[in-house]
Amino acid sequence: MIRILSVFVILILQRDLVLADCGVVTREQWDGLSPTRVEYLPRPVGLVIIMHTVSPTCSTDQACAEQVRTLQTYFLDQLSYWDLGPSFLVGGNGKVYEGPGWLHVGAHTYGYNRKSIGISFIGNFNNDKPTPQALAAAKALIKCGVTMGHLKTDYKLVGARQLIATESPGRKLYQEIRGWPDWTDNLEGIKNN
């Protein structure tokens, strides 16, 4: 019994370390529900997909945590998913919120979930621009993912609209990420046939 408890404590500590180094607001911190099922994501991952939630934006810790809880409820209850779809969510407050995270397969971009990390900005960015804090948080998360070995050093970054029929990540956010150094418009070897 003590051995089982020790293994459980070690697993929790390892999981928290995976997220803590990247400054991610954990599921426990935003008061999220546990996933109903998990599937492990092979790492390191070579693809980062940027999207938006097409929901109200948030700019405070309280509002962003509430928005993430609302999104999780939608994914679980309305869509019957195992968890939140995106691997991570980025609030206008400049904080990153844990979804399935680095370790588990998300449900964000049909056909690409088992080979990518999905980062979704909270809001609708067809007309609105993401905050500088949100952009900096996403860039820091990606950099940390490379440093921690979750992402390949030569990962590629795309907008969801490049892979599937969607407007995501919205015109304004898409325009922004097209200037990021690892964004690619060459989908050879990335896009499913």
Identify the structural domains of the chain with CATH numbers, from first to last: 2-177 (3.40.80.10)
Mean pLDDT of 34-50: 96
Q: Model's pTM, two decimal places?
A: 0.89
Question: Using one digit for the tens of pLDDT, what is the confidence trace for 140-184?
Answer: 999 999 999 999 999 999 999 999 999 999 999 999 999 999 999
Residue 32: which of 100, 80, 114, 104 has the closest Cα?
100
Q: What pLDDT shows up at residue 192? A: 85
Q: Give dist(CA 128, CA 50) in Å, integer.
A: 16
Q: Could you write out the DSSP letters of every residue in 58-74?
A: --SHHHHHHHHHHHHHI
pLDDT score of 46 more than 70 = yes
Percent of the chain exceeding pLDDT 70 equals 89
Percent of the chain with pLDDT over 90: 87
Q: What is the mean pLDDT of the chain?
A: 91
